[in-house]
């Protein structure tokens, strides 16, 4: 079974609107971390947001928030007030256990923001 | 910080040749990771260093791959007898040890094309 599943290959959104990118995960560990990274066409992976499995509140970082539903094993990324510069690939990732923080990534979602 | 630096940005080589990539992590980061990303996929973990010690290697890392991190500073990834299947983006990442900040900083990657 895949550890990280991103079911949306591509998403379209208009500028200034909100968009939700889906991510579900599979782990039997009690301690884990969930991440979202943005990868523009330049190739660099840019950290957006982190949610620990024991965090009771959903993580927020500026226009980014993570909708963490532990029982459903989902960690959706919400981008509010989309901007043209948000157009990029978005990857959900998971760190399992308390090991070396190696991350397992999903296949990504391409987000296109239109004017 | 000056960010994670990778060199070269692009490498084109013929099948059977050896190639070496370099990664300079953020100076105070003692944890260093190598990932590989093929087209349409998320990054996949290859190997991990804590200071100069290589502590974890993925089964993706065949005998033709070797990584070093002398003196716990920069790291090199060498691929011997390259094959067309080695064509990918090779990403390096670093982070500090411990604490609650699990943010992983990525470089812009080295794009390898094996002809």
Give me B47's structure tokens: 């190997």
pLDDT digits (tens, 9 = 90+) for B5-47: 999 999 999 999 999 999 999 998 999 999 999 998 999 999 9
Interchain CB distance below 8 Å, A100 and B48? yes
Q: How far apart are CA A31 and CA A102, in angstroms?
A: 14
pLDDT given at position B50: 92
List of chain A residues with pLDDT < 50: none
pLDDT given at position B90: 97
pLDDT given at position A21: 98
Which of B43, B53, B92, B98 best tests the A interface by mutation, with the highest count of A CBs <10 A?
B43
Give me B101's structure tokens: 């900040």
CA end-to-end distance (rounded Å), chain B? 36
Residue B100: band (very low, low, confident or very high) from pLDDT cuts 50, 70, 90: low
pLDDT given at position B1: 52
| DSSP state letter for B93 | E
**Chain mean pLDDT for chain B:** 92
Interchain CB distance below 8 Å, B43 and A101? no
């Amino acid at each position: 079974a895949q550890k990280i599943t991103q079911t949306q290959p591509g998403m379209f959104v208009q500028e200034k609107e909100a968009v939700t990118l889906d991510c579900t995960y599979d782990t039997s560990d009690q301690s884990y971390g969930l991440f979202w990274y943005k990868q523009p066409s330049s190739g660099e992976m840019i950290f957006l947001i982190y949610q620990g499995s024991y965090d009771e509140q959903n993580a927020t970082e500026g226009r980014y928030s993570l909708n963490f539903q532990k029982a459903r094993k989902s960690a959706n990324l919400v981008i509010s007030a989309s901007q043209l510069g948000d157009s990029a690939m978005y990857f959900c990732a998971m760190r399992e256990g308390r090991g070396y923080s190696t991350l397992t990534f999903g296949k990504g979602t391409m987000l296109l923001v239109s004017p | 910080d000056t960010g994670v630096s990778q060199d070269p940005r692009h490498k084109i080589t013929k099948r059977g040749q050896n190639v070496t990539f370099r990664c300079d992590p953020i100076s105070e980061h003692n944890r260093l990771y190598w990932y590989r990303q093929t087209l349409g996929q998320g990054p996949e973990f290859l190997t991990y260093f804590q200071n100069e010690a290589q502590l974890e290697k993925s089964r993706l890392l065949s005998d033709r791959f070797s990584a070093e991190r002398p003196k716990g500073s920069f790291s090199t990834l060498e691929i011997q007898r390259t094959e067309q299947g080695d064509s990918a983006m090779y990403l390096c990442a670093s982070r500090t040890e411990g604490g609650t900040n699990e943010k992983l900083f990525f470089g812009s990657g080295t794009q390898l094309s094996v002809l």
